[in-house]
């Protein structure tokens, strides 16, 4: 019995020693004064100060004007990497202050907030620069909304300024194919020549049964001397609201046997399968909310959607090389109800040979 306890304590001690940690050279990037000339870029340097591989699970921005790029492969202990952040200055003169949230498998600080700031020096604005998108005679500030993270059950509101560039004819604005969880309105449905209006988009996340990345769209119809129609895309990352959990002491914990699935060399035309085991080491049932797989050639299936405490599920990866010609790499997101690490990204790769 003594030996058993000693072994258990030693295992616990060793597991505590082996940990991945994240640190940044600076958590603020100041662009200073920049011209209104498209995207400007800044780098955040991070280091894995632990002694186990660090995995950046995802990086999100507080608005669609900010686009982060981050390393998709594990960062070895002692190694550094860069998170590159692009800020779009178009149509945004004046001061800006935006946040970027980094989610990783770091033990001490799995969530890290970075900040970018600066001042955009505006140029002599024209209708084309202020409203760069067109649907016939109607010019729009944007035809795509990036909502970033949206908590299920919440309401997000965004606007799109529009402008009738006709010199003498009014236009009528209407909307078609609007999803049930989206409400769209316009401040003035009939715009006279040179008149502006605001399209308001309400994203009702309480009406959605989805998780992770999601894209929706609707159409704006513009009627004047002719009829035009254009698509508005809405991108969001839907996350579960764990703040309303009644019993915080009970939680699901997702443990994966791997973050990388490498098929090695695979002959063109063949198919292959590999698997990853997912174990629930928590104190309540683990639910697999969604498996987000970006490629038609790769299928990922879970042996079960609900994993009881202490039990496991198999994630089977089936790759079809029939239409593949070279090396491939895919990123598969597994989303669960684990409140600490709800997202686990698995890198899938293969080298296709003739």
Domain ranges of the chain: 17-121, 127-239, 254-353
Confidence of residue 91 (pLDDT cuts 50, 70, 90): confident
pLDDT of 9 strictly over 70: no
Mean pLDDT, range 220-239, rounded to an integer: 95
pLDDT given for residue 154 in this prediction: 93
Cα separations in angstroms, 228 against 129, 138, 139, 221: 21, 9, 12, 6
Q: What is the pLDDT of residues 165-208, one digit of tens each?
A: 998 899 999 999 999 999 999 999 999 999 999 999 999 999 89
Residue with tokens 């973050």: 259
pLDDT given for residue 193 in this prediction: 92
Name every residue whose Cβ is closer than 8 Å to that of residue 96 and which is 6 or more positions away in sequence.
65, 87, 116, 117, 118, 119, 120
**Nearest to residue 252, comparing CAs of 336, 168, 333, 176?**
336
**Two structure tokens written together for 266:** 């695979």
Q: Which fold has domain 254-353?
A: Immunoglobulin-like (2.60.40)
Q: Place domain 17-121 in its CATH homologous superfamily.
A: Immunoglobulins (2.60.40.10)
Cα separations in angstroms, 324 against 238, 268, 331, 348: 31, 7, 16, 14
For residues 200 and 178, what is the distance between their CA atoms, to the nearest angstrom?
A: 13
219-252 core/surface letters (b: 16 or more CB in 10 A; e: else) = ebbbbbeeeeeeebebebbbbbeeeeeeeeeebb
- Give me the count of residues in the chain: 354
- Least confident residue range of 8-17, 22-31, 330-339: 8-17
* Identity of the highest mean pLDDT range in 1-5, 8-12, 87-91, 230-234: 230-234
DSSP state at residue 74: P
Mean pLDDT, range 18-38, rounded to an integer: 88
Mean pLDDT, range 255-265, rounded to an integer: 94
pLDDT of 7 strictly over 60: no
CB 65 within 8 A of CB 78: no
Q: What is the pLDDT of residues 40-85, one digit of tens each?
A: 999 999 999 998 999 998 898 888 889 999 999 999 999 999 999 9
Q: Which fold has domain 127-239?
A: Immunoglobulin-like (2.60.40)
Q: Note if the pTM is more than 0.75.
A: no
CB 222 within 8 A of CB 199: no
CB 14 within 8 A of CB 51: no
- Same CATH fold, 254-353 and 127-239? yes
Q: Left if phi > 0, otherwise alpha if psi is -120 to 50, otherwise beta: which for 246? A: alpha
Ordered strands of the 328-336 beta sheet: 260-267, 343-353, 328-336, 286-292, 306-307
For residues 117 and 82, what is the distance between their CA atoms, to the nearest angstrom?
A: 18
State whether residue 79 is helix, strand or coil.
Answer: coil
Q: Is the dihedral of CA 168, 170, 176, 180 positive or negative?
A: positive
Name every residue whose Cβ is closer than 8 Å to that of residue 259 and which is 6 or more positions away in sequence.
55, 74, 344, 345, 346, 347
163-176 core/surface letters (b: 16 or more CB in 10 A; e: else) = bbbbeeeebebebe
Mean pLDDT, range 17-23, rounded to an integer: 76
Q: How far is CA 46 from the centre of its chain?
A: 20
pLDDT given for residue 5 in this prediction: 42
pLDDT given for residue 63 in this prediction: 82
């Amino acid at each position: 019995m003594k030996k058993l306890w000693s072994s258990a304590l030693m295992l616990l001690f060793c597991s505590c020693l082996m940990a991945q940690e994240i640190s940044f050279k600076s958590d603020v990037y100041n662009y200073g004064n920049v011209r209104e000339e498209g995207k400007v870029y800044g780098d955040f340097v991070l280091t894995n100060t632990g002694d186990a591989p660090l995995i950046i699970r995802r990086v999100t921005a507080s608005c669609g004007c900010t686009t982060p790029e981050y390393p998709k492969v594990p960062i070895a202990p002692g190694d550094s990497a860069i998170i590159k952040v692009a800020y779009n200055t178009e149509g945004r003169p004046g001061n800006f202050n935006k946040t970027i949230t980094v989610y990783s498998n770091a033990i001490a600080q799995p969530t890290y907030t970075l900040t970018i700031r600066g001042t955009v020096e505006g140029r002599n604005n024209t209708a084309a620069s202020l409203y760069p998108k067109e649907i016939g005679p109607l010019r729009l500030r944007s035809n795509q909304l990036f909502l970033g993270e949206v908590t299920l059950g919440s309401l997000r509101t965004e606007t799109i300024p529009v402008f009738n560039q006709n010199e003498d004819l009014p236009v009528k604005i209407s909307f078609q194919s609007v999803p049930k969880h989206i409400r769209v309105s316009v401040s003035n449905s009939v715009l006279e020549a040179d008149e502006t209006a605001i399209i308001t988009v309400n994203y009702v996340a309480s009406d959605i049964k989805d998780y992770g990345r999601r894209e929706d769209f609707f159409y704006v119809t513009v009627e004047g001397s002719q009829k035009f129609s254009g698509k508005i895309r809405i991108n969001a990352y839907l996350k579960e609201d764990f703040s309303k959990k009644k019993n915080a002491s009970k939680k699901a914990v997702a443990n994966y046997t791997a973050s990388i699935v490498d098929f090695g060399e695979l002959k063109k035309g063949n198919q292959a399968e590999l698997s990853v085991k997912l174990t629930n080491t928590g104190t309540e049932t683990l639910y697999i909310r969604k498996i987000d797989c970006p490629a038609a050639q790769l299928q990922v299936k879970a042996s079960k959607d609900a994993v009881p405490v202490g039990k496991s599920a198999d994630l089977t990866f089936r790759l079809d090389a029939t239409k593949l010609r070279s090396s491939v790499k895919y990123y598969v997101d597994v989303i669960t109800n684990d409140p600490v690490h709800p997202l686990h990204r698995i890198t899938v790769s293969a080298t296709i040979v003739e």
